[in-house]
A and B are shown apart, each in its own frame.
Chain A
Amino acid sequence: MQVRRKQIVKRGMKWGLLLLLIMTVVLPVWAQESDSSEVTDDEVNAVAKEVYCPVCESTPLDVCETQACADWRELIREKLAQGQTKEEIFTYFADQYGDRVLATPPAEGLNLILWIWPVVAVVVGGFLFSRYMRNLRATAAAAPAVDVALPEDVPPPAKDDYVSRIEQELKKK
């Protein structure tokens, strides 16, 4: 009787283990599949748009035609299904393939140049131009003779200089 009971328990355990095994193998796959299919192409593209193909540079993942990119799009889909955010996925890709896969590289290290440079270009450029223009004005102050001599054919300020040129031209006719 006891033996039989043991056998039953044993058999039960066997089945239980098998079931467990099946569950560990099949269930996650099934769960994932079901979740992935809930992620729309639009959600995938929204992320893929800002990730660039690591193999063929200058091509975002959403339009890239290679098989590798198709796999990466699938990877994005899975990660979205797992509930990862856009930023987490970006971080994943950057860790795997370097910052160059991101449309907007992280604002750190040398990349900071990308934000500082436009400001520098405007500020330094603006400074140089204004200095240049002020110098040109200083010449005016230093040599007023030129100033007076030049505008002999200049129309009164209220009038467009071009309009008066047309008038002159027409008078000649």
Chain B
Amino acid sequence: MSAKTQNERAWWFVLPVVLLVAFNALVPLMTVVNYSVQESFSQGVWFWSGVDWFEQTLHSERFHAALGRQLLFTTIILLIEVPLGIAIALSMPKTGPWVPVCLVLMALPLLIPWNVVGAMWNIFALPDIGLLGYTVNALGIDYDYTQNALAAWITVIAMDVWHWTSLVVLLAYAGLVSIPDAYYQAAKIDGAGKWAVFRHIQLPKMNRVLTIAILLRFMDSFMIYTEPFVLTGGGPGNSTTFLSIDLVKKALGEFDLGPAAAMSLIYFLITLLVSWLFYTIMTRQEEEG
């Protein structure tokens, strides 16, 4: 055995990743940090403003309202998509010729780009020409998502459920088919019913994939932009202006770079914090369960 060569050459192997992360995340993030602590009047004129923008954002009613809408939206779609996804996964066949058919049907909505989904639902739900909007109105229900805030919310939520429940279904299904038959046989021999099988075998065995599903759905829905932007543009009024839509309005519409930068940092930290909370709580539960 020869003595190990000691040199610093290994660092070269790390360099590509460092560069990638730098250009991908660190440099843009630091630009945002740079904006968030300064005030810019015109090109090249900068004033140090400290944490003023952060204070302003945290105290602004507009931010509170957008954050509230965002939290409400995410809560609602999680409450709908997770149970619905599990229910659909449970009712899908485990073997046989229908399995690929079901899987492809389930995967279809996931393959459609966000802006197309928004445009589809925009036309689909229009009260005068859209199939859904026209039908609902023909049934005697007054429905116009361009005028009525509640209708707008229902439409945005329906769109998200249509687009993303499949993700939960596919993950839950993957968890379900990985349960060995022996567990179901043991339950049968004990004389356990369907609910007991779900509660004591299927749910605990799906724990891991559900953690991932909830986490992904939380992050995605919390950062949702394209679909509601194309569908409602944040309206009517500000009723469907979620955080990211508000942020873009502020940064690109009003060109308030400082406050927008501060807001996006706060937004980023909230997403990070809640994701971490979700993950910690759910993995701890798993350890106990």
Q: Do A and B come from one complex?
A: no
Interface residues of A (CB under 8 A from B): none
Interface residues of B (CB under 8 A from A): none
